[in-house]
Amino acid sequence: MNFADEWWVKLYTRDTTTWKLLSWQARTLLLHMFRKVNRAGEIDVGEDGIEGLAALVDLPLEEVVEPGMEMLLKRGTVTKRDATYAIPRFVEAQETPSSDRARARKHRARVTVPSRNVTPESQNVTQPSRDVTDRHGPSRSDQIRSDQIREEREESGKPDDSVRALAETACAEINRLTGSKYQADSTSTLKLCKALARAKRTPDDVRAVVADKHREWGSNPEMRGRVCPATLLALANFEKYLDTLRSRPGAKPSTPTLRAVPPPDSKRDDKCNVKSLYSDEELDAMLRDAAAATAAAAAAGGTP
């Protein structure tokens, strides 16, 4: 890792009464949020809400994120406005320079701790010293400016085609099956799809997982809400769902080909052959079951 090119944050170690009174879930969530906030100390989760936050920090939703966030909001350690979670006074905490007293204390600590990298050459104090200016790293202001430039470049860049294809496929399929209105350009959805793209997952993998989980959860009022990008596209969840598909009796992970089924409003490519989890007949049956479940839920007056 090149530390000069990495984004980092200050983490204060004083045990305040606020910190001591937080539950372990709240402490865990807060520390992980420090790693994900932007320069203003904010995390925008868009429409995905608390589920999107759980996906971004990669923590269990029900066991950690929900109870942890409840306590953080109650104590004012984190605030929420619309779709944005924020850490108060984050900018002040990151940009406040150390006092003279604190710098002196750090200097004394460095002097009193023996170096573990002492060599015979460094012990020979009679040798001419090196030009110390060559060993100076970039100043604090240079580091901040470098981070700002890099972050601006990253924010201005658009997601590549593979990431966009995954996001558009996922949202189109979920919206078609559930009647939702998820947006493919959501920040949290694109971030999840970047991880899937790095794992070499394809739009056809996404279609198979979405169809399978809707088939399993769509008719269950307590579970149908989990048919959403935040749950299905989180890398750990997605890999688990995909492994479950591949391990089922009758699944054919390598030899047959799967007919790519595009959303109704997209152009179809009849020549698209991909590594498959199901044969054409099995996929057709899965999609028929999903459509039937949606129609049944709509007829009952519920939201599929």
**Model confidence pLDDT, tens digit, residues 128-143:** 555 555 455 556 556 6
3-state secondary structure of 84: strand
In angstroms, the CA 208 to CA 277 distance is 8
- Quote the pLDDT of residue 255: 34
Q: Beta strands 257-259 and 273-275: pairing type? A: antiparallel
- Quote the pLDDT of residue 268: 45
If you average pLDDT over residues 77-106, what whole number do you get? Answer: 84
Res 198 pLDDT > 50: yes
- From 234, 220, 215, select the one nearest 282 (Cα to Cα): 215
3-state secondary structure of 85: strand
% of residues, the chain, pLDDT over 90: 39
In angstroms, the CA 214 to CA 174 distance is 8
3-state secondary structure of 196: helix
Q: pLDDT tens across 60-80, in order?
A: 999 999 999 999 999 999 999
In angstroms, the CA 168 to CA 183 distance is 8
- From 33, 18, 95, 39, select the one nearest 69 (Cα to Cα): 33
If you average pLDDT over residues 117-125, what whole number do you get? Answer: 53
What residue spans in the chain does CATH classification 1.10.10.10 cover? 13-92
- Quote the pLDDT of residue 98: 73
If you average pLDDT over residues 209-222, what whole number do you get? Answer: 90
CB-based burial label for 234 (10 Å; 0-12, 13-18, 19+): buried
Query: With contact defined as beta carbons under 8 Å apart, do 45 and 53 qualify?
Result: yes
Which tops the pLDDT comparison, 212 or 301? 212
| Edge-to-edge strand ranges of the sheet holding 79-81 | 42-44, 84-86, 79-81
In angstroms, the CA 204 to CA 217 distance is 20
Query: With contact defined as beta carbons under 8 Å apart, do 72 and 50 qualify?
Result: no
- The dihedral of CA 49, 68, 85, 188: what is its sign? negative
Which tops the pLDDT comparison, 20 or 100? 20
- Quote the pLDDT of residue 269: 47
Average confidence score pLDDT of the chain: 78
In angstroms, the CA 75 to CA 49 distance is 20
Q: pLDDT tens across 259-290, in order?
A: 444 555 544 444 444 344 556 666 677 777 77
Q: pTM of this prediction?
A: 0.38
In angstroms, the CA 44 to CA 94 distance is 20
In angstroms, the CA 158 to CA 235 distance is 21
Cα→Cα distances 105→14, 215, 272, Å? 15, 62, 66
In angstroms, the CA 97 to CA 271 distance is 61
Q: Which residues pair with 44 in a beta bridge?
A: 84
Cα→Cα distances 277→152, 253, 287, Å? 40, 5, 14
Query: With contact defined as beta carbons under 8 Å apart, do 286 and 278 qualify?
Result: yes
Res 257 pLDDT > 80: no
In angstroms, the CA 290 to CA 273 distance is 23
Was domain 13-92 assigned CATH 1.10.10.10?
A: yes
| Residue 294 half-sphere exposure toward CB, CA atoms < 13 A | 18
pLDDT interval class at 193 (50, 70, 90): very high
Q: pLDDT tens across 6-32, in order?
A: 878 888 888 999 899 999 999 999 999
* Strand residues in 210-298 grouped as ranges (E): 257-259, 273-275
